[in-house]
Amino acid sequence: MKFTATQIAGILEGDIIGDPDIEVSKLSKIEEGTEGSLTFLANPKYKPYIYTTKASITIVNKDFESESDLDTTLILVEDAYKSFSTLLEYYNKVKLNKTGIEQPSFIADSVVLGENVYVGAFTYLGENVQIGKNVKIYPNVYIGDNAVIGDDAVIFAGAKIYSESIIGNYCVIHSGAIVGADGFGFAPDENGAFKKVPQTGNVILEDHVDIGAGTTIDRATLGSTIIRKGVKLDNQIQIAHNVEIGENTVIAAQTGIAGSTKIGKNCMIGGQVGIVGHITIGDGVRIQAQSGIGRNVKDLEVLQGSPALNYGDYNKSYVYFKNLPKLANKINKLDKILDNNEQ
C-alpha cells in the first residue's frame, strides 16, 4: 500500500512542507528511515536525526523549527505522537480489511453472520453462534456453541472462544488466547481424591476489551467471569473463574488472578503479579511488578513487594534491608564490646 503526503495530511488534518506528491509504503524509526518510509519526531532527544534521516515523510509538531536544510517532507500536526498512533490505527484497518468466507471452514447452519464479515480458513463456528458486522475472524479460530461476537471485533489466528461466551463490540483477541475454558474447580472427597466441580457459567467481555496472545480467561462456576469495558490485558495472563475486572484497568504480562476476586476500575497492575482469590481491590490501585496481593486493597493504594506493602513503606524498608550487612557488623562489634566490658 502506498500513501502520498497529501493523503496522510488529509487523514491527520496536518500541513505539508515539501513535496505533496511524495509516496511512502512503509513505516520506520526516524534514525532508521529509508527512502519510501514514513516516520515521526515527538521526543526532542531524537531531533538531530531529522537532519540525517532518509525517510521520505516525517510527522512533526507544528512548533517545530528547522535549524538547517531537510531532505524529508514534513507534515505539521498538533501532536506528532498521537497523530502517528492515529495513522498506525488507520494503517492496521486498511491492512486487516479482509472480507468473505475462506474454505475449508465449518459454519453451522444456525450461525448468524453480520455484514462485511471475514472468516479465515479452518475456522469452526458452532451452533447458534452470532457474529456481528465487520467482524474479522482469522484462520484456525474455534468459536463454540451459543457464543456471541459483537460488531467490529477482531479475533486473530488460533484463538479459542468456548461456548456461551459473550464478546462485546470492538474487542480484540490475539492468537492463542482462550476465553471460556473451565475454571480450576475441584473438591476433595472422603478419600482425599479431587472431584471436578462442573463449571456452568460463562465469560463476558464488554466493549473495547483487548486480550493479549496466550492469555486465558476461565468461565465462571456459576454466573459470569466479567471483563468490563476498556480493559487491556497483556500476553500470558491467567484470569480465574468468577473474577471481575473493572473498566479501563490494564494488566501486564504473566499476572495471575485467582477465583472470585474483584478488581476495580482504572487500576494498573504490573507484570508477574500474583493475586489471591476472594478479595476486593479498589479503584485506581497501582501494583508494582512481581508483587503478591493477599488482602483487600483500598482505592488508590500503591503497593509493592510480596506480601505487598504500601509503596512508600516498601521503599523505606528496603533501605534498611540493603543496609542489613552493615547493621549486622555494627551489632557484632557492640556484642564484642559488651562481652569485653562484662569480663
Cell numbers describing residue 316? 523505606
CA distance 84 to 250: 22
SS3 292: strand
The string of pLDDT tens digits covering residues 94-138 is 888 889 999 999 999 999 999 999 999 999 999 999 999 999 999
Write the pLDDT tens digit of every residue in 180-191.
Answer: 999 999 999 999
Mean pLDDT of 308-319: 82
pLDDT tens digits, residue range 22-63?
999 999 999 999 999 999 999 999 999 999 999 999 999 999
**208 carries an active-site annotation:** no
Q: How far is CA 262 from CA 241, 258, 279, 292, 297, in A?
A: 11, 10, 6, 16, 10
pLDDT score at 336: 83
Distances (CA, A) of 61 to 37, 54, 96, 301: 18, 19, 29, 36
How big is the chain by its Cα radius of gyration, in Å?
27
Q: Which fold has domain 3-95?
A: 3.40.1390
Name residues whose C-beta falls within 8 Å of residue 267's C-beta, 6 or more positions apart in sequence. Answer: 246, 249, 250, 251, 281, 283, 284, 285, 286, 287
Distances from the Cα of 70 to the Cαs of 22, 24, 36, 74, in angstroms? 15, 17, 16, 9
Residue with cell 512548533: 63
Please state, for a pLDDT cut of 70, what percent of the chain lies above it.
Answer: 99
Q: Which class for 337: exposed (0-12), middle (13-18), buried (19 or more C-beta within 10 A)?
A: exposed
Q: What is the pLDDT of residue 160?
A: 98
pLDDT at 79 over 80: yes
Q: Hey, is 250 helix, strand or coil? A: strand
The beta strands (E) that lie in 18-103 are given as 23-24, 26-27, 37-40, 57-61, 73-77, 100-101
Q: Which three cell numbers stand for residue 268?
A: 494498573
For residues 76 and 57, the answer to whether their CB atoms sit within 8 Å is no
Identify the CATH assignment for 100-313 out of 3.30.210.10, 1.10.150.530, 1.10.8.60, 2.160.10.10. Answer: 2.160.10.10
135: nearest Cα among 178, 179, 161, 170: 170
Q: If you average pLDDT over residues 217-228, what whole number do you get?
A: 98
pLDDT of 317 > 90? The answer is no
Q: Which residues of 182-195 are buried (b: 16+ CB within 10 A; e: fewer)?
A: ebbbeeeeeeeeee
In the prediction, which pLDDT does 88 show? 87
* Confidence (pTM): 0.83
Burial of 240 (0-12, 13-18, 19+ CB in 10 A): buried
Asked whether residue 17 carries a pLDDT value surpassing 70, the answer given is yes
What is the tally of helices (H) and strands (E) in the chain? Answer: 4, 40
H or E, element range at 89: helix 80-95
Measured CA to CA, the distance from residue 63 to residue 66 in angstroms comes to 10
Model pLDDT, residue 213: 98
Q: Where are the domains positioned within the chain?
A: 3-95, 100-313
Q: Of the listed 174, 208, 241, 278, which one is catalytic?
A: 241
User: Above 90 in pLDDT, residue 145?
Assistant: yes
Q: Is the pLDDT of residue 309 over 80?
A: no
Report how far residue 65's alpha carbon sits from residue 40's, in angstroms, rounded to the nearest whole number: 15
Q: In which band, very low, low, confident or very high, does the pLDDT at 83 lie, cut at 50, 70 and 90?
A: very high
The secondary structure of 17-35 as a DSSP string is ES-TT-EE-EE--GGG--T
Q: Does position 333 have pLDDT exceeding 90, yes or no? A: no
Copy the grid coordinates of residue 246: 473493572
d(CA 100, CA 120): 8
